[in-house]
Amino acid sequence: MNAFPRLMIAGTSSGVGKTTVTLAILAALRERGRRVQPFKGGPDFIDASYHTAAAGLPSRNLDGWILGADLNRQSFMRAAADADLSIIEGMMGLFDGSSPLNDIGSTAELAKQLEAPVLLIIDGSAMARSAAAMVSGYAQFDPAVRVAGVLFNRVSSDGHYKLLKAAVEQETNVIPLGYLRPDPTVSIVERHLGLVMPGHEQAPGLYQRLAGLVQDTVDLEGLEVLAKSCAPFPFTRDPIAQLAPRTVRIGVARDAAFCFYYPDNLELLEAKGGALVSFSPLHDEMLPDDLGLLYFGGGYPELHGAALAANRPMKQAIRRFAERGGSIYAECGGMMYLTEGIRDSNDILHEMVGLFPAEATMQSKRMTLGYRAIELTQPCVIGPTGLGARGHEFHYSSLNPKGSLTYAATVRDAGGERQGTDGLMVNNVLGFYAHLHFASQPSMATSLIASARNTICQR
């Protein structure tokens, strides 16, 4: 039995500064020599990328609706096994999820699945004794969720914090662990799909400044004690850990345009026999040698439309790979790259690879967002008819058909309502708007590797 020290960071609502607080704690604990494993509740790629930069370890996404309790626990324990402690950033408000009537898909659900104590983040900028009422309400709302500590954000002085601390200590059993002062130099710039990716327009000293922000005002020792106060739970056998020989080379697009990948997806491909080889559609003119599969994740191809369009040798190499029967799997931005073109927010059309007869058009004021459950209506590179998997959609673009489009799957949302079709398919090329989490259906990785091996055999 291993306690897996862990702490869930949850907010009273979106916008209270969960991400800033999480990054500050990760950076500060790393400076103290701790090996801290970060996690992100929900399907958000961008917050997880910031975690990775702050902690120096890949952040993992955990999600009650996409994965469920058992898979969440497996993913958590696999990544946390060698860590001194784990920090999990929740999503939205503590009890907000896919329904207003239950906790499915919420931070609270995840905290219960992991039996993790909760550190509640409150914007304390305009309150005093009312903070005690808020903490009391959150702590008592669901007795199965252990709200063990509270940290106040945007508190300007030690005197103000003492008022908040005194109120909470008198009225509740929740432990105040400090506060963060407002500091515009460590704010995370919002843009486009929500946040700028780490390294994009952020000063090099961001994480050092974040670590410094908590050194004098947050009880880091108390925070670690809180993380170690959780109960142990038994380790269950992890199917991803059963590695097969890596005999199939998989080209994974990785650069500023393509950067959204679940680590579990990549590890499942490796476990089933894939050897991952990175390449850049922005900067490379040739594909790596001897590939059986191309994997294009999501990202920001619309922000790099001109550069992607100008790299004609790479587009030609991808078309030749597909024409020879090569298997290609793409998600969201990766799927957009495989269309005839991307029309950006300035109505400028950038010519893309041209495998799918459609254009992707940016619509800055119309966002598609939500959980997605897909079911294959015909066999393709990820599996047979009837196969189901889960993931999410998050994009501002739409497809404008320029010819006949073939779709591989039907789509439903978290409530079971039909959301149309997805999975553009041309021969062995498959592109989804949905970001599918392979752990929700591990046979997808097996099918992709089998398709890649078949590609190699036919050459």
CB 39 within 8 A of CB 46: no
CB 29 within 8 A of CB 35: no
- What confidence score (pLDDT) does residue 125 get? 95
- What confidence score (pLDDT) does residue 369 get? 87
- What confidence score (pLDDT) does residue 320 get? 97
- What confidence score (pLDDT) does residue 178 get? 97
Instruction: State the pLDDT confidence band at 194, using cuts at 50, 70 and 90.
Output: very low
CB 125 within 8 A of CB 15: no
Q: What is the mean pLDDT of residues 96-117?
A: 90
- What confidence score (pLDDT) does residue 109 get? 95
The DSSP code for 301 is: G
d(CA 80, CA 114) in angstroms, rounded, equals: 12
- What confidence score (pLDDT) does residue 289 get? 95
**Of 21-30, 181-190, 191-200, 293-302, which gets the smallest average pLDDT?**
191-200
d(CA 233, CA 115) in angstroms, rounded, equals: 8
Q: What is the DSSP string of 64-113?
A: TTTTHHHHHHHHHHHHHTT-SEEEEEEEEETT-SS-SSS-TTSHHHHHHH
Q: What is the mean pLDDT of residues 281-302?
A: 96
Percent of the chain, pLDDT > 90?
A: 78
**Of 115-129, 182-196, 256-270, 325-339, which gets the smallest average pLDDT?**
182-196
**Of 77-91, 258-272, 357-371, 386-400, which gets the smallest average pLDDT?**
357-371
Q: What is the mean pLDDT of residues 351-371?
A: 90
Q: Give the SS3 label for residue 376.
A: strand
- What confidence score (pLDDT) does residue 98 get? 77
List, by residue number, the catalytic residues: 332
**Burial category of 261 from C-beta neighbours within 10 Å (exposed 0-12, middle 13-18, buried 19 and up):** buried
Domains, in order of start, for the chain: 6-227 (3.40.50.300), 244-458 (3.40.50.880)
CA-wise closest residue to 343 among 314, 301, 394: 301
114-146, pLDDT tens digit by residue? 999 999 999 999 999 999 999 999 999 999 999
d(CA 302, CA 4) in angstroms, rounded, equals: 41
- Residue 226, φ and ψ in degrees, nearest 5: -60, -40
- What confidence score (pLDDT) does residue 459 get? 56
Average pLDDT, the chain: 91
Whether the pLDDT of residue 191 is over 50: the answer is: no
CA-wise closest residue to 194 among 50, 345, 87: 50
Whether the pLDDT of residue 231 is over 50: the answer is: yes
- What confidence score (pLDDT) does residue 158 get? 96
Q: Which residue has the higher pLDDT, 454 or 90?
A: 90
**Burial category of 404 from C-beta neighbours within 10 Å (exposed 0-12, middle 13-18, buried 19 and up):** exposed
Long-range contacts of 193-199 (CB under 8 A, 24+ apart): 193/46, 193/300, 193/394, 193/395, 193/396, 194/44, 194/46, 195/19, 195/46, 195/47, 195/50, 197/46, 197/49, 197/256, 197/259, 197/300, 198/49, 198/50, 198/52, 198/53, 199/53
Whether pTM > 0.75 for this model: the answer is yes
20-68, pLDDT tens digit by residue? 999 999 999 999 999 999 999 999 888 999 999 999 999 999 998 999 9
Number of Cβ within 10 Å of residue 307's Cβ equals: 16
Q: What is the mean pLDDT of residues 263-285?
A: 96
CA 261 to chain CA centroid, Å, is: 8
423-444, pLDDT tens digit by residue? 999 999 999 999 999 999 999 9
- What confidence score (pLDDT) does residue 175 get? 98
Instruction: Decide the pairing of beta strands 356-362 and 397-401.
Output: antiparallel
276-288, pLDDT tens digit by residue? 999 999 999 999 9
In sequence order, what E strands does 228-344 have? Answer: 248-253, 258-260, 274-279, 291-296, 298-299, 327-331, 339-343
Angstrom CA distances, 422 to 286, 354, 398, 418, stand at 29, 18, 12, 11
- Residue 138, φ and ψ in degrees, nearest 5: -70, -35
- What confidence score (pLDDT) does residue 192 get? 43
Whether the pLDDT of residue 372 is over 70: the answer is: yes
Cα-trace Rg, the chain: 23
d(CA 128, CA 216) in angstroms, rounded, equals: 21
